[in-house]
Amino acid sequence: MKLKMLKRIAALSLALVSAVLSQAQTPPASLLPDTLTPASFDLQKAVNIHTFSLSGPASVLVQAVSDSLGVGLLITDDLGQSWARGTLDSLTASALGGTIGTRAEAVLPTGVYFVTSFVLPGATLGGPTPYQLRLTVVAQGGQPSPTPDPTSTPPTTETEAAQVQSTAAVETEWKPSVPLLLADGIQIRLTWAASVDLNLEVRDPSGGALRFNARETNNGGTFGLDANAFCQNLASPATETATWAGGFVPSGSYEILVTYRQSCEQTPQPAAFVVDTTVNGVALPTVQAQLSPPLPNQASVYIASFILNPEGTVSLGPSGVYPDSSLNILPAAPGVILAQAQPIERGSTITGALYGAQSYLAYSFEAAADEVVTISLEATSGNLDTLLQLIDSAGNLVAVNDDANASTNSQLANQRLTAGGRYTVVATRYGKEIGGTEGTFRLSISEGAISVPPSIANLPLVAGDIQVVLAWTTSADLQLLVRDPSGEAVYDDRDNVRSGGLMPIKGNINCTRAAGNPYSYIYWPQGTLPPGTYEIEVWYQDECRDTTPTTFDLAVIVDGRPVLVERQTPTFGQRYVISFAVAADRTARAGRGGYIGGNSSTLNYASVTPIAINLNQQVVGTINSDKPFDVYAFSGRTGQRVTILMANTSGTLDTKLFLVGPSGREVADNDDAGAASPTGRGTDAIISNFTLPEDGQYLVIATRFATIFGGTQGGYTLLVQGN
């Protein structure tokens, strides 16, 4: 009944939003963060719309409070997509000084959003009815949203060993787990009605986990039915449970993960769900949220948690959606992390702890260009699921690792540091500030070395001045491509180029399984060592009916010396790009590597002062290894049409464009114009006849294929056409 009511409320709210927007004569009023905004309903107006904008990803909480009626809440973006719906919440009522409270929360990307408040079905309006709204915004990487003072929470029923505190709790110190006797145990129940396969997982404080493929723990935990598994035997509502029977259970943080595994309909739809938790017979506040269908090669996960304290009280932890992209978001602003970092000597090992109030620690060390280090972060107690991030002196993310060596520990093995300076290690956990795992850890930084792995060292390779080898073990078809300093590419469809590059071995080409473990090989024979920059691309282009995770080893050997060795585990469709440069004295140096996507997230363009340009004014620039992008700014207006052309004028530059709107959201991009290019060069970039969505300053980011990971360079012209 609860889910049906939510659907009715959602349908009603969407209809009201459309009606109000179509009749609106004035723009929606703005919501200011951390400010109580008054509003009211009357007999002629049962819906109000407010707006707010985000300049970066953030956790957003909208609260409504009234003395006489329930206020429905709906958060949508400027395209009409729903991000969060309100739920009745007594904490909001007590914290904001009302009788009836509602809250809606979500993790939102950069953009403009609308908050629709409406009278919940069943309420009667007898005249003007006031209520108040409050917006709380916490930038991703910031601290959790402020929560009501626990002293304002009405007292709850105390049972034998557990008293529930309904506030969101942030632990202020690390508390080792102790056994607690709970007569009625712990029950966690996930319920949903959508035709999808959701997965419940609960990780207990001692490191055990309950999920569909781990049905028991050694401390009495059991997992129930795997509902809607593989979209077979669909149930509505569907329910999954994790239970610890009465007896001794460990104190500490219990992390609850809800994963959207797959849709069971042809058109994937968002899935609303409810998580009910009972500890020793006392119900914790219900978690009601929604997950969107997962994007290709990504997971769609919601994290929640509760803390069973050693003294027997129970507290809710923070919660929210945690997409895969969050792994690349720092737990705090770069400047804050750099200022907090403690110096650490390489070759040493230090210990620490992560928990509610301390979701990360930072450590810094100095390094010279091209040095190689191995950084290891290992949990030593609790259920800590470590996450390791490495940033440079400017706060740019250099590398990240979540799980290493088939464990939840983290390691950056033989990490090559492309530039000299101060580096900072961020020791954190999966979920960071909303994560529910905790415990002590051991961190070590040691000298590394570039050495060719056995999977490549033992191959019968023809000798060459440049040798590029890709090796893996599954049936997948991985395409290896190397672009030489003249811009010509060697790959399976073109196995030789004029500079001398050859490709004699093509592993698993067209899903034809190689004898033994597959590998691909591109080389330049001895006596042919063209100096310049080389770009390597590894494309996971076909699973070949083998869904086994594919890990590849990539090695580059120049003049007999290993220059780079990378081990990566891509997902289907991903492209990994890295470059290396050969100098005239035959020495070689590798550049940065990483997975490329369709957006500008790898570019720290916000730290660059843009160059102002006028419409129809052509400018010139250069992209190279030291300057992988330029930023330009022009003024635009809503509905105006522009065409942006970036054309190569010299070198091997493979141009790429991004357009960022006044609100900070990327609105358009282009890599290769192909036949549409007026210069005849298919790798030029064009954003053609684009309609600007709002008034203000637009940023044009002029860069290259693979952005910071790319190897092409040269001159270009840039022109923004419009009127």
CB contact at 8 A, 207 and 144: no
| Residue whose C-alpha is closest to residue 377's, from 424, 336, 338, 410 | 410
Nearest to 249 by CA among 156, 298, 202, 179: 179
For the chain, residues with pLDDT lower than 70 are 1-27, 78-82, 121-126, 140-172, 296-297, 675-680
CA dist 517 and 470 (Å) reads 11
Cβ–Cβ < 8 Å for 722, 616 = yes
Closest by CA position to 308, among listed 380, 205, 217, 223: 205
Judged by DSSP in three states, 321 sits in strand
Contacts of 22-27 spanning 24+ positions with Cβ under 8 A: 24/49, 27/51
| Strands annotated E in 460-574 | 466-471, 477-483, 489-490, 502-505, 519-524, 532-542, 552-558, 561-568
User: Residue 242: beta bridge partners?
Assistant: 188, 223
The answer to whether 511 and 544 have CB atoms below 8 angstroms apart is yes
Phi, psi of 521 (to 5 degrees): -140, 125
pLDDT digits (tens, 9 = 90+) for 663-693: 888 999 998 877 666 666 778 999 999 999 9
Strand order of the β-sheet with 342-343 is 342-343, 360-367, 421-429, 386-391, 397-401
pLDDT, position 184 = 92
Question: What pLDDT was estimated at residue 95?
Answer: 80
**pTM of the complete model:** 0.56
Print burial letters for 379-399: b (CB count within 10 Å at least 16), e (below 16).
Answer: bebbbbbbbbbbbbeebebbb
User: Would you give the end-to-end CA distance of the chain in angstroms?
Assistant: 56
Cβ neighbours of residue 77 closer than 8 Å, sequence gap 6 or more: 83, 108, 111, 112, 113, 114
CB atoms within 10 A of CB 689: 10
> What are the chain's domains?
2-139 (2.60.120.380), 160-322 (2.60.60), 330-447 (2.60.120.380), 454-595 (2.60.60), 606-721 (2.60.120.380)
State the virtual CA torsion across 692, 698, 701, 706 in degrees, nearest 10: -50
User: Other CB atoms closer than 10 Å to residue 691's CB: what's the count?
Assistant: 12
* Contact by Cβ (8 Å): 670, 686: yes
The pLDDT value given to residue 435: 94
Structure confidence by residue, pLDDT tens digits, 417-459: 878 899 999 999 999 999 999 999 999 999 877 889 889 999 9
User: Cα–Cα distance between 601 and 707 in angstroms, integer?
Assistant: 10
Residues comprising the chain, all counted: 723
HEC per residue, 226-253: CCCHHHCCCCCCEEEEEEECCEEEECEE
User: Which strand (E) or helix (H) includes residue 91?
Assistant: helix 90-96
- CA separation for the pair 312, 330 (Å, rounded): 33
What is the reported pLDDT for 668? Answer: 94
Q: Cα(56)–Cα(666) distance, rounded to whole angstroms?
A: 11
* CA 353/CA 176 separation, integer angstroms: 10
> Omega into 144 within 30° of 0, i.e. cis?
no
DSSP H or E run through 634: strand 630-636
pLDDT of residue 637: 95
DSSP 373-434: EEEEEEE-STT--EEEEEE-TTS-EEEEES--TTSS-EEEEEEEE-S-EEEEEEEEETTGGG
In this structure, what token pair is assigned to residue 650? 């010299």
- Rounded Cα distance between 99 and 130, Å, is 12
Query: Rounded to whole angstroms, how far apart are CA atoms 194 and 225?
Result: 17
pLDDT at position 210: 97
Coil, helix or strand for 16?
Answer: helix
| Token digits of residue 133 | 């709204």
